Amino acid sequence: MKRIITYGTFDLLHYGHINLLKRAKELGDYLIVVLSTDEFNLNEKNKKCYFSYEKRKALLESIRYVDLVIPETCWEQKRTDIHEYHIDTFVIGDDWKGKFDYLAEEGCEVVYLSRTPEISTTQIKQDIMSGQKKQ
Ligand code: C2G
């Protein structure tokens, strides 16, 4: 059983997130999503989420590619998560390319997947504010 882990906020869940989760799951058999808590988002990522952690968690748990959702409360937990959950591969979008290479020291493969370029939570919010419609 190949175990995959990925991290993120996943607010206003969209097809870019789904593309990432689908490809992450294709790398193994079991996918853990470590979901940023509201406090972590606010204090560490300067993100004010539209949906609360519980709602974002429920949405992720309904996705067929996702096997487990756990909280992300700090940047440093990745090293311990990898051991605690017996992770084979860490996966994240290539907007983070190079930032988590150090996890290879924990015996974990590190994979950066291409982002879906034309969509983002910020873009969705901006489009709604300006009355734009996504084509
Ligand atoms: N993503 C993507 N394509 C998009 C938007 C997001 O592939 N158009 C990917 C990101 O690269 C990330 C995941 O979807 O792998 C979640 O994105 P965010 O919710 O923006 O998460 P982020 O703020 O990058 O949090 O400790 C790591 C952080 O928690 C990562």
Does the global pTM surpass 0.85? yes
Which residue's CA lies nearest to atom 12 of ligand 1? 93
CATH topology of domain 3-130: Rossmann fold (3.40.50)
Pair of tokens at residue 122: 């910020």
112: exposed, middle or buried (C-beta count within 10 Å: 0-12, 13-18, 19+)? middle
Q: Is 47 a catalytic residue?
A: yes
For ligand 1, say whether the CB of 8 is within 6 Å of any of its atoms: yes
Task: Give Cα 56 to chain centroid, integer Å.
Answer: 11
For ligand 1, say whether the CB of 41 is within 6 Å of any of its atoms: no
Tell me the domain boundaries of the chain: 3-130
For ligand 1, say whether the CB of 72 is within 6 Å of any of its atoms: yes
> What is the full per-residue pLDDT of the chain (135 aa) written as tens digits?
999 999 999 999 999 999 999 999 999 999 999 999 999 999 999 999 999 999 999 999 999 999 999 999 999 999 999 999 999 999 999 999 999 999 999 999 999 999 999 999 999 999 999 998 777
